[in-house]
Each structure stands twice: as structure tokens, then as C-alpha cells.
Amino acid sequence: MQLAPAQLPPHLQRALRPLYTLHGDEPLLVQEAADAIRAAARTQGYTERTVHTVAGTHFDWSAVLAAGGSLSLFADKQIVEIRIPSGKPGKDGSTALQQVAESAQGNDSTLTLVLLPRLDFQTKKSAWFAALENAGVAIEVQPVERNALPQWIAQRLAQNEQRVAAGEEGQRTLQFFADRVEGNLLAAHQEIQKLALLYPAGELRFEQVESAVLNVARYDVFKLSEAVLAGQVARVQRMLDGLQAEGEAEVLVHYTLAEDIRALKRVKDAMAQGRPLPMALREQRVWGLKEKLFERVLPRLSTTTLENLLHGAHVVDGIVKGLKAPGWPTDGWQALHKLALGLCLECSAQPKAARG
């Protein structure tokens, strides 16, 4: 049974299942979901807890299997927690997890909680994950995307009986807050808690948030790709500066940008040969959010524009490897800025005449 994170609190109020599987790469949200399950279990008499962290290929799964059937003299109900940081239990683990799923059914003395990172499509189709999902409750914890972050911050502030001003001023405050904590939800939570300690309940002014909230943003090179294709110029500049400050490899940033340009060119060429856009995107393995971004920007990009961008990507490839090129910065990060912003402006929703 699959459950959305938002459905977990009402679910726990109604009933408690013997098996829960949490998977996702957002530590704060996974931790909060696991805490909610543990808290609900404690109210129903699950007083004992054992934790098993699966590490290495020689992990002893027999201890995990035995834990489900062994209770201390002082408890009649227990929580058995299985943490698999790699998301890959291996052959023995696959068999063991299927046994765990089978033994969980109808077991009212042991609650099993399995914690996993974000899983790829293939892993979600594996026999062991299917067994866990079918025998209990599986919850996929998705990250909070940048466009949803201001609303998430507002909701968390409300839990502390705080709020921003109404209207445009409040939106500016939330956007500023989101810029400071993007990609670092755990730090965002800590900054919200700090505001609750610094200021009383009620309305927060922009100046209060500006002075209190630290710049703890962490940037993902693949999120940079989405920001470029979305035409978010200011965000792209901020992300590039952040990636440079974090010590990200120039070649990885270049590879991500160049791959997008090459994919755009290949799809454009396929369309010129008569292929429908959906078919061309599938052939280039473009899907999800990037598929929607491609659909929006491709009509704006001429073949000549894409050829120029492709040439620019080739030039920047040399610059980040130490070569020089006329008309281009000699510094690798400056060259990446020029390439990224060149593509970003072409993808921008602004008409060319308005760009100056």
C-alpha cells in the first residue's frame, strides 16, 4: 500500500500497520515521518526498539530475522528498525526482506520500520521492495522543490504561530527566505526554529528575517539544469556562485549544460525530419520536469541558435581544461556563467526585444 506523506498523520490516528517502508533523500522529512510512526507506536505499547544498519556485503541478516521473534522480559511489543543507507540490500538481503514482509502480516507484537534512500525505477520494481510495499505501507518522501519552498516555509512558520506580512511584502520575504535555504531543508527547519526563539508569535517583518536567516543554501548541479531551462536568470547566477563556493567540479557543471544543449539540438533535428515532439523526446530519454521544460523552450530556439550554443559548449569544454579562446573568459567559472546565461536567456519567457 502506497501512502503520501501528507496522509500519514490521519492514517496513524486510525490504525497502525505492522510494516512501514520510508524511502527518499530528504533527511528532515524522512526523520519526521519516522518519528511520527515511532510516537504512534509508543502510545500503543511498543516500548522496545532495536536498530539494524545494513552496511557492507557481509551483513548478518540472521540477526534482523531473529529480532522479529525475540522480545525482552520487560516488553510485549517492539519496534524493529532496518536502515539500508545504500538502498541495495544485495541477494541475501533481498531474500531476508521478503521474509520480513511475510512475517509482518498479522504480527501485532512487532512493528518493522524500513528506512531507504531515494530509489530508482528499477529498484522499485524489485521483488524485495514489492514485497515490502504489498505487505505494509510504503511512503515516498519527495524533496520540496524550489517553487514550493516559500509555501512550505509559510506553513512551518504557522506551526510556530508566526507569519509574514500579507501581499507583495510577505511574498518578497518568503522568496528571500527560500533563496537563503534552497537545497538544504534541514537547515531551513533550523532557521525557522531560530526565528521562533528570537521573535514572539505574530507577524515577521522582512528586516527581521533578513537579519536572522543565514545563507545556508546548497545547490545541486542537476537543479541548475532545470533553472537554466526555466529561464530563471537570477537563480542561475546564484546557483553557479554557490556551486563554485562549494567546490563543485567545473567539468561536471559543463557536462550538465552541454548535455542539455546536445539533447535540445537532437530533438530539434528529429522534429525537422518529421518526428512528433513527444516521440523525439522519448527517443532522447527526456521525461519528467525536463520534458515539460523542453516542450516550452524548443519552439523558441532556432536551429542556428542551438548550433551557436553547441559551439559555445565546445569552446567552454576547452576552457575548463585550461585552453584559451578568443572572445571568451579565461577563467573556467566565468566561461560557465557565459554559457549558462546564454542558454538561460534564450529559454527565458521574455521576448528577445525586451532583453536589451
Q: What is the pLDDT of residue 106?
A: 82
* DSSP letter for each residue of 43-99: HTT--EEEEEE--STT--HHHHHHHTT---TT-S-EEEEEE-TTS--HHHHHHHHHH
Residue 181 has pLDDT above 50, yes or no: yes
Question: Between residues 71 and 141, which one has the greater pLDDT?
Answer: 141
Q: What is the dihedral of CA 11, 13, 18, 21, to 10 degrees?
A: 40
Encode pLDDT of 101-147 as tens digits: 998 888 888 999 999 999 998 999 999 999 999 999 999 999 999 99
- The confidence band for 39, taking pLDDT boundaries of 50, 70 and 90, is very high
Residue 354 has pLDDT above 50, yes or no: no
Give me the helices (H) in the chain, please. 8-14, 27-43, 61-67, 90-104, 121-124, 127-135, 149-159, 167-181, 185-198, 206-212, 221-229, 233-245, 250-272, 277-283, 288-297, 303-319, 332-347
Q: How far is CA 148 from CA 24, 154, 170, in A?
A: 17, 10, 15
Q: What is the pLDDT of residue 1?
A: 87
What's the rounded mean pLDDT across residues 35-58?
90
Residue 235 has pLDDT above 80, yes or no: yes
Q: What is the pLDDT of residue 72?
A: 54
- The confidence band for 71, taking pLDDT boundaries of 50, 70 and 90, is low
CA 270-276-280 angle, to 5 degrees, is: 45
Encode pLDDT of 270-310 as tens digits: 999 999 999 999 998 888 888 999 999 999 999 999 999 99
Q: What is the pLDDT of residue 117?
A: 95
- The confidence band for 66, taking pLDDT boundaries of 50, 70 and 90, is confident
Residues above pLDDT 70, as percent of the chain: 96
Encode pLDDT of 243-276 as tens digits: 999 999 999 999 999 999 999 999 999 999 999 9
Q: What is the pLDDT of residue 75?
A: 58
Tracing cell 514482509 back to the chain, one arrives at 101
Tracing cell 501485532 back to the chain, one arrives at 108
What's the rounded mean pLDDT across residues 320-335?
94
Residue 350 has pLDDT above 70, yes or no: no
Q: What is the pLDDT of residue 332?
A: 96
